[in-house]
């Protein structure tokens, strides 16, 4: 007798949507998130394309905590103190929104909970529970074993669960990039004035060139309701 039909490791977008769909089908689902709450541990620039999530939650933007709908897109090539910008204005066919994952992931996790999934936060899964060559659940901090028929590894793009289950090879430094992001407060009026936006409209700006001083990578800037998300990402292999 297993403890749950399905254990989902991670309550990021993938984990919460998987938990929601599985719980809705009547399975018993335990979702384990190592962060204090869903959304407290993630790395994300700030723009969500709607096409995928819309299949699960049609018109989700009407109730989800989105920031702004992207209507202004800028691609910038910087050299020295100068640069060239290409900008596209207007609502593109592919809808996208700026979001803050701390709020958004929590909303998604609540959807999963409402569908019947049990979400436990602040607990790290140490490894899959493997017996007789099969994954039979997970081992959490403190060596506690929790059994399930299926384990969903939704612990992110680098999934250490997949690595420990032997489903992918170890990653090397070359596979990683490092990113830094700051969310800076700016009033709604200043954002709309500086980025030439109407109410609720958002800008997504991406930059390459001298911004990373020769290192492979780029910068991003997304406008939220009353903050901007500003960041830079660089390949570790290129840094060395």
User: Which residues here bind ligand FAD, judged by CB under 6 A?
Assistant: 9-15, 32-35, 41-48, 124-125, 154-157, 179, 233
CB atoms within 10 A of CB 140: 20
Beta strands 96-99; 47-49: pairing state: antiparallel
Of residues 26 and 147, the one with the C-beta less far from ligand FAD: 147
The nearest distance, CB 6 to ligand FAD, in angstroms, is 15
Of residues 48 and 117, the one with the C-beta less far from ligand FAD: 48
Of residues 201 and 229, the one with the C-beta less far from ligand FAD: 229
The nearest distance, CB 81 to ligand FAD, in angstroms, is 25
Q: Does residue 209 contact residue 77 with C-beta atoms inside 8 Å?
A: yes
What angle (nearest 5°) sits at the alpha carbon of residue 90, between those of residues 89 and 96? Answer: 100
The nearest distance, CB 94 to ligand FAD, in angstroms, is 12
Of residues 35 and 137, the one with the C-beta less far from ligand FAD: 35
Separation CA 39–CA 12 (nearest Å)? 7
Of residues 35 and 202, the one with the C-beta less far from ligand FAD: 35
Residue 234 has phi, psi (to 5 degrees) of -135, 145
Of residues 140 and 197, the one with the C-beta less far from ligand FAD: 140
CB atoms within 10 A of CB 201: 19
Cα-Cα end-to-end distance for the chain: 51
The nearest distance, CB 43 to ligand FAD, in angstroms, is 4
- Give the three-state DSSP class for 183: strand
Q: What is the dihedral of CA 90, 93, 95, 47, to 10 degrees?
A: -70
The nearest distance, CB 172 to ligand FAD, in angstroms, is 17
Please identify the residue of the shown chain whose CB is closest to the bound ligand FAD.
Answer: 12
The nearest distance, CB 221 to ligand FAD, in angstroms, is 11
Separation CA 28–CA 5 (nearest Å)? 5
């Amino acid at each position: 007798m297993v403890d749950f039909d399905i254990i989902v490791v991670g309550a990021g977008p993938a984990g919460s949507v998987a938990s929601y769909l599985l719980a809705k089908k009547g399975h018993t689902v335990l979702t384990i998130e190592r962060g204090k709450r869903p959304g407290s541990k993630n790395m994300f620039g700030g723009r969500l394309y709607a096409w995928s999530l819309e299949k699960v939650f049609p018109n989700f933007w009407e109730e989800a905590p989105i920031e702004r709908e992207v209507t202004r897109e800028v691609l910038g090539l910087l050299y020295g103190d100068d640069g060239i910008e290409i900008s596209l204005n207007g609502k593109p066919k592919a809808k996208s929104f700026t979001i803050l994952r701390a709020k958004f992931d929590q909303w998604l996790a609540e959807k999963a909970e409402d569908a019947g999934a049990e979400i436990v936060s602040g607990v790290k899964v140490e490894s899959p529970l493997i017996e007789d060559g099969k994954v039979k659940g997970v081992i959490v901090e403190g060596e506690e074993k929790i059994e399930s028929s299926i384990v969903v590894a939704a612990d992110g793009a680098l999934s250490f669960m997949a690595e420990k289950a032997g489903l992918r090879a170890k990653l090397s430094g070359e596979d990683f990039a490092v990113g830094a992001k700051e969310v800076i407060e700016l009033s709604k009026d200043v954002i709309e004035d500086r980025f030439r936006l109407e109410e609720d409209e958002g800008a997504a700006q991406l930059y390459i060139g001298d911004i990373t001083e020769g290192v492979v990578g780029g910068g991003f800037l997304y406008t939220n309701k009353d903050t901007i998300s500003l960041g830079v990402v660089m390949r570790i292999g290129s840094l060395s």
